[in-house]
Homo-oligomer: A and B are copies of this chain.
């Protein structure tokens, strides 16, 4: 039998322990599939004495993961600490510097330093595997990098954050408001104590920036992602969406247009009947569109110990089997700079909800603002009348340029009869 692939795990949280458990329980199967054993020989975490429910007997313990990455006699370092910089990045850099392969689940780090890490790994001839960083157990990195490699992709769209999808699904099912459902998700452990990374769209944007590079051969450019979260989504909007035949999802979209590449994260209305509209709860999904393959959809669990460990294991098996290539599918020095399309140039359809005082002539003012900005209305919904009171008025607008829409909305928001900030949700017609 060939000699084992020796692995060090940096970080013994949920994912680290999950990976250790997987590599142990599937040892026979992995040996068959990798052509040799994949064996954890070293681990590091902050607190050695903590009970993690797994035996650490016989493993080299390091308090300092960067030291482990530099010194442990291993072939691969698995970094599952997290965080864009600090000890996680130091560990990854040390692993590469010492000629060890690197497998990481760290989307924040890849979104910020991905190109640089890929370049360093290539220079050292080591692998940089990050299947676990996007969409958990769904093997989407491999699918885009290899499975669809014969295609020029035009769009990659994903539900990439299970917390947001859970909140939006639960809001719809229970007809409750965002704050209440978030609090419940926190108490159930589905959302963090500080949920902003998830609900403000940052986690989705990290993952999207990685998918963009894989799809289009561009440098990872998180800074160019337009990011909006789901804090402003109300039960009212979800109800109107349903009435219009849509579901509200937080999507990450990387789209190739004639003017460059759009990278945007924002709540979207998608048709209820669409594949992506039906992805509910904590599930993630990615839709990729290629010129030869057409539309392909990948759906599965996007987080948790099991799915993430599954992704880490896939990278380790590839490395053990010698299936190693450039991290983002093409050589790091061939990755091109993103020509980003500014959000003001985005074109699409919109849903707008106004809260207006129900009185004569209001709608004429709204319509005039739209007309002056050449925004064309598709439909208007207003249920019943309530003279003198505040009522929601919902409009859908035909495809228009974002800048025009925003100018019209700015003017509308200043009308006396418009009593709250107008709510805007983009419509993606899949």
Contacts and interface: CB of A to CB of B under 8 A. Distances in A.
Contacts of A26: 150-152, 292
Nearest to A306: B292
Given A278-B275, A297-B298, A313 B29 contact: no
Given A143-B143, A150-B314, A310-B292, A300 B297 contact: yes
A148 interface: yes
A318 B138 contact: no
A236 interface: no
Interface in A310-341: 310, 312-314, 316-318, 321, 323, 325, 329-331, 334
Contact of A323 (B146, B292, B310): B146
B329 A33 contact: yes
A32 interface: yes
Interface string A203-240: 00000000000000100000000000000000000000
Contact of A307 (B294, B301, B313, B317): B294
Interface residues of A, number: 54
A430 to B, nearest CB: 13
B32 A334 contact: yes
SS class of chain A's interface: helix, strand, loop or mixed? mixed
Interface in A84-143: 131, 137-139, 142-143
Contacts of A18: 292
A200 interface: no
Given A142-B143, A310-B290, A321-B325, A149 B296 contact: no
B22 A292 contact: yes
A250 interface: no
A299 interface: yes
A148 B314 contact: yes
A60 interface: no
B137 A293 contact: yes
A415 B33 CA distance: 54
A147 interface: yes
A159 interface: no
Contact of A292 (B137, B146, B325, B334): B137
Contact of A310 (B34, B150, B331, B334): B150
Please provide the 7 A-B residue pairs with the shortest distance between their CB atoms, ordered closest to farther.
A139-B147, A150-B313, A296-B300, A137-B293, A293-B310, A292-B306, A292-B310
